[in-house]
Amino acid sequence: MTDTQALIKTMDFQLDIQSDNESLLYDANLEARSVYNETIRLAKQGLDWDVIPERVAGNSNLVKNTTQRVVAKALGAMENYHEYDDFGQPSHTKDGTYPLCANYEEGYNLSLDDDGDITFRISAKPYQHIKGVLKGADSHLDILKTALESDEWKIGTAEALFHNDDPELHVNITNTERTVRGKHDSQTVVGVDVNEDNVALTALSENGIKDSLVIDFPEIKFERHRYFTMRKRIQNARKNSINDTLEGCEERFVRDRLHKVSCHIVEWSRQFEKPCIVFEDLKEMRDSIDYGTRMNRRLHHLPFRALQFYTSYKASFKEIPTTWINPEYTSQRCPMCRHTERANRNKKRFKCRSCGHQDHSDRGASVNIAVKGIKKLDWNVPALNSLPQVRKVRRQASGAVDAPTVTHPTVRDYQIDGRSGVLD
C-alpha cells in the first residue's frame, strides 16, 4: 500500500543581478515590509481577513499577485500565532526589508540560456523587472534545470530577499510523482518524545525494542530564555524598536537548531527496516497547561509542533511515513508493567511505584509512544522484559559538520531484578 503525496523542496540561490537593479530589489523588499506591516495591523484591528487582501493591494506599489502572496504570508503568521503561539503575536512595526513573495510565471520567471545557465526575471514593481543569472549549489541547479525541462518537478512560489546583504532567491519546487510507503506496510515504529531540552527516540518492532536514543539540545532553552531577558530589559528601557530584530534573531536560531535535530531523527530512523515515525498529537496541549506564570511562558513558547513538522516532511523525502497518537499518560505510564499511577519523577529519572522499574523519564515516554503506535497499526505488542541502555548525544553548537557527540558521563548503567536501564 502506498500513499501518493506531493513533496516540496525549498532551494536557495544567489542572484547575479544585471546592471544597477539591486537597488530596485531593495526598494521592493521595503515595500513588501510595508504590505506585511499593514496586513498585521488590520488583522489586529479585527478586520475580516477576506477583505484585507483587496484593502492592502489598493495602496501597494507592488505587482498585485506579489502583494497577495505577501498578504497571505502575513495572515499565515497571524494564524500560526492563534494556533501554536510559538513566537508571540506578530508585530506590525517590522523594520528592515521583507522577502518579496511571487508566483511562478506571474511574479517571476526562470529560463535556460544558450550557455546552460538559469536566468531569472523578477517583477519587483509594476513594469519594473530585475534580471540576471542564478548561482548556487550544483545539486540545486540540476534539480531546477530538470524542473524546467520535464514534468518531474513543478516550480512554485519563490521569495527574493537579502541574506547578509547579498540578494537571494528561495524557490519552492514540488514533486507530485514521489510516493511514500503506507504506514501499515511498516515493520518498525519509532516513538518520538519531544521535550524542552531534548528529543527521545525508541525503535520498536513486534520482536521488541531495537534501539533507543536521547538527543539533547539545551541551547534552544538557554537561548530563548536569554532573548526573553533581553526583551524585558529593552521594554523597561522603552526601546521597543529593537524588539523586532531580537525576535528575528531568536526565530532564526531556533529554526536552524530544529532543522538539524529533525535531520538527525530521520537519519537515525532510516537504519531500521521499513520505519514509521510516531508523534504525540500536541494540538491541544497548550490549552491544558497551567503550571504558573513562569512555567507557562516556557512551555507555551516551545516549538514542539515545528520540530514535528520539520521531521515529518524530511521523513517523507526519505519515503518514511509518519503518524500521530493520543499523548495521554505517555509520560506517566511505566513502560515495563504499564502501571498508570503517577510515578516518582526527579528531573530525568523515572521510578515506577508498582514494579520499581527505573528509567530515563523521556526515554520511557518514547517507549510508550512507540507502543501506542504499534497498537494503532494493529500489531501485536511485544513483551518488554528489558530495555536497552540509553544512549545520549548532544548536537554540537558549532563545527563544520555539526555531528552528534556521545556524552557518556551523563549515563550510568544499573540492573534491577534483571531489568536494565539508566540513572542520570
Integer Cα distance of 359 and 362 in angstroms: 8
Same domain, 144 and 6: yes
Same domain, 130 and 60: yes
- Residue 195: give its domain's CATH number: 3.30.420.10
Same domain, 329 and 211: yes
Same domain, 76 and 52: yes
Integer Cα distance of 304 and 195 in angstroms: 8
Same domain, 359 and 393: yes
Residue 398 pLDDT:
41
Same domain, 199 and 330: yes
**How high is the mean pLDDT in each 10-residue block of the chain (424 residues)?**
62 88 91 95 93 92 93 88 63 87 94 92 93 89 87 89 92 78 90 91 94 89 77 71 65 82 94 95 59 51 75 84 90 85 75 87 94 92 85 61 36 32 34
Please name the residue ranges forming H helices in 45-137. Answer: 52-57, 64-83
Same domain, 197 and 126: no
Same domain, 61 and 165: yes
* Nearest CA-CA partner of 306 in 158, 86, 92: 86
Residue 422 pLDDT:
36
Alpha carbons within 13 A on the beta-carbon side of 103: 10
Handedness of CA 208, 211, 215, 216 (dihedral sign): positive
Tell me whether strands 118-125 and 198-205 are parallel, antiparallel or unpaired: unpaired
Same domain, 202 and 337: yes
- Own/partner pairs for 250-255, CB < 8 Å, 24+ apart? 250/87, 250/223, 250/224, 251/87, 253/220, 253/223, 254/220, 254/223, 254/224, 254/303, 254/306, 255/303, 255/306
Cβ neighbours of residue 209 under 8 Å, at least 6 residues apart?
202, 203, 367, 370, 382, 384, 387, 388
**Contact assessment for residue 357 and residue 421, using Cβ atoms and an 8 Å cutoff:** yes
Domain boundary among 175, 207, 240: 175
Same domain, 207 and 302: yes
Residue 262 pLDDT:
92
Same domain, 140 and 260: no
* Nearest CA-CA partner of 297 in 240, 236, 232, 366: 232
Integer Cα distance of 37 and 246 in angstroms: 17
**Contact assessment for residue 289 and residue 300, using Cβ atoms and an 8 Å cutoff:** yes
Same domain, 165 and 196: no
Domain boundary among 144, 175, 206: 175
Residue 177 pLDDT:
67
Secondary structure (3-state) at 402 = coil
Integer Cα distance of 224 and 247 in angstroms: 10
Task: Pull the grid cell for residue 110.
Answer: 526562470
Task: Pull the grid cell for residue 52.
Answer: 484585507
Q: Which domain holds residue 244?
A: 182-423
Element (H or E) spanning 35, and its range? helix 22-44
Domain boundary among 158, 175, 192: 175
Number of domains in the chain: 2
Rg for the chain (alpha carbons), in Å? 24
User: Model pTM greater than 0.75?
Assistant: no
CB-based burial label for 53 (10 Å; 0-12, 13-18, 19+): middle
- Own/partner pairs for 400-406, CB < 8 Å, 24+ apart? 402/260, 404/215, 404/264
Matching residue, cell 497571524 = 78
